[in-house]
Every structure is written in C-alpha cells, then in structure tokens.
C-alpha cells in the first residue's frame, strides 16, 4: 500500500480557534479528498499533544492507494486541483507554516 502524507508543520494563526480550523478542513477539504480517484483510505488527523520541543503539526492528512499508478491518477485529477485551491484559502485564513508531502510504502505485520 502507498500512502501520501501532507504534513502541516507550523501553528494556527493568532486568534484562530482549533475548532474553526477543524470545521473548515472537515467541511471544505475532506469532501474533495474523499473524491480522489483510487484512494482506499483518507485519514485526517488533528494535532492534540506533542512532546516538549517537538514541532507542531495542527493537521496531518494521509491518503492511501493500492498502487503507485492509483496515486499518480489521483495527483492528476481535477479533485486535487480543487483541493489545492481550497487548501490555499484555508491556509491563508488559519495557518502559519509550511506543508510538505511524504510518500510511504507500507509492510503490514499482523499478530
């Protein structure tokens, strides 16, 4: 399985509530992310706690695909283009930091 992570490293803007940020992501971005073709899981995780001195991640997005081909199809889809536009709007309103992406390949070990 291939998973592409979007790590929102930084902090919420001063005066912005975590609840408002979460509501914006949930209502405006999650519906688009769920429409990425070929995905088999969309996980949206909001930062709750971290170790002292660790970087802050208010949001981590993980979208999984069964293959690299499915990932490539999703990245070229119109839903991704739309999500980039909406992400820019949400970032401008709520977030100070940077977004970086990481692609992982998982091995699964069951008990």
Q: What is the pLDDT of residues 55-108, one digit of tens each?
A: 999 999 999 999 999 999 999 999 999 999 999 999 999 999 999 999 999 888
Confidence of residue 43 (pLDDT cuts 50, 70, 90): very high
Give the mean pLDDT of the chain: 96
Domains by residue range for the chain, with CATH: 2-66+79-98 (3.30.70)
Confidence of residue 30 (pLDDT cuts 50, 70, 90): very high
Separation in Å, CA 72 to CA 2, 3, 44: 11, 12, 20
Q: How are beta strands 95-105 and 41-46 bridged, if at all?
A: unpaired
What distance in Å separates the CA atoms of residue 26 and residue 40, rounded to the nearest whole number?
A: 18
């Amino acid at each position: 399985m291939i998973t592409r992570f979007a790590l929102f490293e930084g902090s919420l803007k001063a005066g912005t509530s975590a609840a408002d940020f979460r509501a914006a992501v949930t209502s405006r971005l999650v519906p688009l992310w769920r429409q990425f073709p070929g995905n088999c899981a969309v996980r949206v995780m909001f930062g709750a706690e971290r170790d002292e001195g660790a970087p802050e991640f208010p949001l981590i997005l993980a979208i999984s695909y069964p293959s690299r081909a499915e990932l490539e199809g999703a990245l070229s889809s119109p839903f991704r283009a739309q999500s980039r536009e909406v992400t820019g709007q949400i970032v401008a309103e709520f977030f100070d930091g940077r977004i970086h992406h990481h692609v992982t390949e998982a091995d699964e070990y069951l008990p």
